[in-house]
Amino acid sequence: MVDHACHHVAAQHTVEFMKTHKTVTQLIHAAQSKQRCAYSTVPAEQLALQRRAKAGELTNTYKGSPSLYADTTYWLSLTPPERTMHIAKALGDAHPHWIFGGLTAATAYGFEHQWCLHQGSISIMTTGHGTQQRHSQLKRVYMPNAPSLAVREPTTGLLVTPPASTLIECARTYDFRFALPLFDSALAKGVSANDITQACSTMCVDYTPVFRLLRHANPRSENGGESLARGTMIEERFVVPDIQVPVQDPKNGAEYRVDFVWRLRNGRIVVAEYDGSRKYVDPSMTDNRSIHETVAKERERDSGLKRAGASEIVHLTYAEVYEKTPLNMKLLRAGIPQLDGTAENR
């Protein structure tokens, strides 16, 4: 009789475990189909998610309320911005009234930026002044008028701060050179400088970094890497170059668009090209050419630029830009002037 009872309990437990396992699998698949992380408010399912995370099958992507999870292999395949959006969309589903701002909103809008800015945290706006941070992954930013300004971003469905307010928050959060790509990209997407200055009038914050960014922002910047490079040059007090300058090879009529150009007082013309590492490994960037062919193409381009009048061509990588010192050394060797410490780069 006892053995029969024990067998019945064990069988029931097995059935419940299988049902829970099936439910968790469905939660994960449903979340992936919506490009967000999975969560549950059911205690048994929460425990099942935790167990599978401890086993390594799932990754606990957010340790707040609710805890969020994703299939580990799937999670590792995502870029940092995609991971931020997966977390934000799950939190938006769990907390429909949350208003996302800062880098989270900027990512939702598709503004260009460096992936290194993503540290696994999410920014939400709060109307409560001095609200304590509950944990490291949730950044609460005081914005008393957030509910009246919030808009629904159509691509992600998130409730976010308006583009101008988003940019102001990013300007206050990040160094100039990391905020400049966001401003360049936003202007290219149709956000106006007037939108941003008007938003400044409604927020009681220091606008100095915002106005500096507006002075240097340029929608003609081709991508976030080039914007970071230019921002670094400005931070390091180099004379600001012209960007995206059209050049024609006098020999064969080939047309090029140059990233950065300085026309120096001594008559020299110095060109700088930002070469992201993807240029050599991403088929979409190389037209499926081999690295050897890509390098040969670059040399051919350099020769054309010199025939068009370039005195010197400087190639900059992401690592050189990020580390600053290699960029400084290359530009100084090329003769690019720096402003003195008392001058503002204009």
State the DSSP string of 305-319. HHHTT-SEEEEEEHH
Model pLDDT, residue 178? 98
Model pLDDT, residue 149? 94
Model pLDDT, residue 206? 84
pLDDT in tens, 14-66: 444 445 578 999 999 999 999 999 999 999 999 999 999 999 999 999 999 99
At residue 100, φ and ψ (nearest 5 deg) are: -90, 145
How far is 57 from 53, CA to CA, in rounded Å?
Answer: 6
Model pLDDT, residue 107? 98
Model pLDDT, residue 136? 84
SS3 (DSSP) at 101 = coil
Q: What is the location of CATH 3.40.1350 in the chain?
A: 226-333
Token match 């941070």: residue?
133
pTM above 0.85, yes or no: yes
Alpha helices in the chain (DSSP H): 2-33, 43-54, 72-76, 80-94, 102-109, 146-149, 163-173, 176-188, 193-200, 208-216, 224-235, 278-281, 283-286, 291-307, 318-323, 325-333
How far is 111 from 97, CA to CA, in rounded Å?
Answer: 23
**CATH number for region 226-333:** 3.40.1350
Residues of the chain scoring pLDDT < 70: 1-20, 129-134, 277-292, 294, 341-346
How far is 315 from 327, CA to CA, in rounded Å?
Answer: 9
